[in-house]
Structure 1
Amino acid sequence: MTETDNAARPDVPSYAALLEHVPPGSSWGVFDRDAERGTANFAGPAQVLDGVAAVTRGAVFSLDHALDAFDPPMARARSAPRHELLAAHDQVRDDVLHHFYPQASSQLDGLRHRRASGHGFYNGVPDDLIRAGHPALGVQRWAEQPIVGRGLLIDVEGLLAAAGTPLDHRQGPALDVDVLDRALHAQGERVRPGDLVLVHTGWARWFLDADPAVRGEVRDARRATGFRQTRDLPAWLWDHRVALFATDTFAVEVLPVATDTFLASAPEDAGMMHQELIAKLGVPLGELWNLTDLVADSRTHHRWDALVVVKPLHLVGGVGSPPNATALR
């Protein structure tokens, strides 16, 4: 366990300075200890204690949907797991999951999930180390030392509904980063260095409650609410020293891709922003999180922070995992 308070380091460069790095916009070489944890390094002991201070009622919230909640998953290459019970005799039970895709439901994208095209995996880890069973950049880095700190919930859905411009998830609108600042202002909150930022749009709950035909329509079109592909989001996350960024949307970013900002640097993904967030900045990226109960509690009690504990599967060399995330208040 590191005792370094990376969130308070005065020598951490700005995102503008990171644009001069190779690759541009990367934090490669910034963290001199536990570099494979990426921006999770911003959540150190001081941030854990900050999160603990948010626990005053003993309320506990799971932030994961069921493993088979999204059946079929939005990602067409994945499937929901099939659960089978086994028995060696009639007095015992065992079980096995068939076709278990760790990123088919609520998930935490690990730093193996995306390579920086033309440059390599996060922090320059060689390609030949990115294989099953090798620990380099595996999600077990966040299981060995879970990501724990002050979680800050940003209620984008609530902000836009109150303004008379509710999100139309069937159309999959693109969000601009200024909506985060507007929501924080409305909530009377600010991001502290090392926060675990959770963004509630209502997308996952809408999708799960939608008519099967509507779910099929948006899945076939690969259409989902999310953030517009610009440098604004990477800059916002880095300059606020966010340790983890999670939303209740399918991909964090809007789909289909809304701009050509990253088309030249990420042609394989039609210009998606994942390589900027994962492969370059090293951000633990949460998707499809279950924020419904937490936001309901926040709206009732007018509290937006919580102690958040994230401990993914201890899968050596894992690419992603259910987050196994819990919020406490």
Structure 2
Amino acid sequence: MPTYAELLTRHPPGSSWGVFDRDPERGTANFAGPAEVAAAAASVERGAVFSLDHALDAFDPPMARARSAPRHEVVAAHENSRDDVLREFWLQATSQVDGLRHRRASGHGFYNGVPDEDVRAGHPALGVQRWAEKPIVGRGVVVDVEGLLAAEGTPLDHRWGPALDVDVLDRALAAQGERVRPGDLVLVHTGWARWFLDADDERRAEVREARRATGFRQTRDLPAWLWDHRVALLATDTFAVEVLPVATDTFLRTAPEDGGMVHQELIAKLGVPLGELWDLTALVADSREHQRWDALVVVKPLHLVGGVGSPPNATALR
């Protein structure tokens, strides 16, 4: 398996296109294979279960201004019958996993060179159903960035959307006495989602209008860290994984449509399933209480053929 430095010599630079022979459209989820899943099952000891999804309408309005919270309607054909429907259901308006058709690599194409014309509703290419047909399952590792920075005397002030450097992951893992193993699902806790949901309407409107959110700085350090650790999935409790507004011009030339965001590098080039706005609060509280940072994690998005993204339907078990 090539290193990230070696991937930079490929076309497109920094891509894993063609690296995975089996199930290539699952991307780095392939790092969590049968052996990793079997080993992860050993994380279940107490029978404790944690949902990692916020409610579908928790973020109302969502941070992304083009999206809206769904409207739930209950209907009845007669007095002894009930049915329901969700209207305006944006699949990435709350806790979500970004599918591999969520971003296209500027000047190169979709992951693995999938033709543009195949990325349409109803066509299976790169759809989230790939992770529903074969869910992403493995050892989840909580990285408590919020706890680390508070202990270091530099607590996060989410109102201003601080940028995180990748070395904070190594520092947090060291403080926890934990490490990332190949095939792990890395769950980064910053406290952002809980802060946003607990904020008053004025504060939420302020950060939403400014499109300002805590996240990782846009450098090659993040894709390098994920690939070289063989991470199967990266999920955070932040709006976009990366900091907004964009903090560097590293990818401004290669991702001009996204203003230099690192999303294209992670999704369209590396093939990383990205989780955003996950609910990690209860899992982190349990981790701190028991000083236990791993769990068996199951991620099974909606079985929507050709889906771009989906609620993760993520569950952690200990």
TM category (shorter chain) comes to over 0.9
Instruction: Give the structure 2 partner of residue 150 of structure 1.
Output: 139
Distance 2:209 2:200 in 1: 14
Superposed CA deviations along residues 235-270 of structure 1, whole A, max 9, x for unmatched, are 000000000000000000000000000000000011
Distance 1:149 1:270 in 2: 33
Instruction: Give the structure 2 partner of residue 183 of structure 1.
Output: 172
Instruction: Give the structure 1 partner of residue 120 of structure 2.
Output: 131
Matches within 5 A, 1:3-18: 12-18=1-7
Distance 1:96 1:243 in 2: 33
Matches within 5 A, 1:169-180: 169-180=158-169
Are 2:189 and 1:200 equivalent residues in the alignment?
yes
Instruction: Give the structure 2 partner of residue 107 of structure 1.
Output: 96
Instruction: Give the structure 2 partner of residue 21 of structure 1.
Output: 10
Q: What displacement does 1:64 show?
A: 0.1
Instruction: Give the structure 1 partner of residue 228 of structure 2.
Output: 239
RMSD between aligned residues: 0.3
Matches within 5 A, 1:304-315: 304-315=293-304
Runs of 4+ residues over 3 Å off in structure 1? none
Are 2:147 and 1:162 equivalent residues in the alignment?
no
| Identity among equivalent pairs (%) | 85
91, 101, 104: which one aligns with 2:80: 91
Instruction: Describe the SS at the equivalent of 1:53.
Output: helix
**2:134 corresponds to which letter in structure 1?**
Q
Instruction: Give the structure 1 partner of residue 272 of structure 2.
Output: 283
Superposed CA deviations along residues 205-260 of structure 1, whole A, max 9, x for unmatched, are 00000011000000000000000000000000000000000000000000000000
Instruction: Give the structure 1 partner of residue 284 of structure 2.
Output: 295
Q: What displacement does 1:50 show?
A: 1.6
**1:205 corresponds to which letter in structure 2?**
R
Distance 2:44 2:80 in 1: 42
Instruction: Give the structure 2 partner of residue 264 of structure 1.
Output: 253
Instruction: Give the structure 2 partner of residue 62 of structure 1.
Output: 51
Q: Which runs of 5+ in 1 are unaligned?
A: 1-11
Distance 2:21 2:35 in 1: 19
213, 216, 222: which one aligns with 2:205: 216
Number of aligned residues:
318
Distance 1:288 1:21 in 2: 32
Q: What displacement does 1:63 show?
A: 0.1
Instruction: Give the structure 1 partner of residue 61 of structure 2.
Output: 72
TM-score (norm 2): 1.00
Instruction: Describe the SS at the equivalent of 1:159.
Output: helix
**2:189 corresponds to which letter in structure 1?**
H
Distance 1:127 1:51 in 2: 37
Are 2:308 and 1:326 equivalent residues in the alignment?
no
Instruction: Give the structure 2 partner of residue 7 of structure 1.
Output: none
Instruction: Give the structure 1 partner of residue 244 of structure 2.
Output: 255
Superposed CA deviations along residues 88-124 of structure 1, whole A, max 9, x for unmatched, are 0010100000000010000000000000000000000
**1:274 corresponds to which letter in structure 2?**
H
Comparing 254-263 with 47-56, greater Cα deviation is found at: 47-56
Distance 2:53 2:76 in 1: 28
Instruction: Describe the SS at the equivalent of 2:160.
Output: coil
30, 35, 52: which one aligns with 1:41: 30
Distance 2:153 2:223 in 1: 28
Instruction: Describe the SS at the equivalent of 1:61.
Output: strand
Distance 2:39 2:264 in 1: 30
Distance 2:35 2:179 in 1: 17
Q: What displacement does 1:49 show?
A: 1.3
Instruction: Describe the SS at the equivalent of 2:297.
Output: strand
Distance 2:244 2:211 in 1: 6
Superposed CA deviations along residues 135-173 of structure 1, whole A, max 9, x for unmatched, are 000000000000000000000000000111100000000
Distance 1:162 1:258 in 2: 25
**2:255 corresponds to which letter in structure 1?**
A
Distance 1:36 1:291 in 2: 27
Q: What displacement does 1:13 show?
A: 0.1
TM-score (norm 1): 0.96
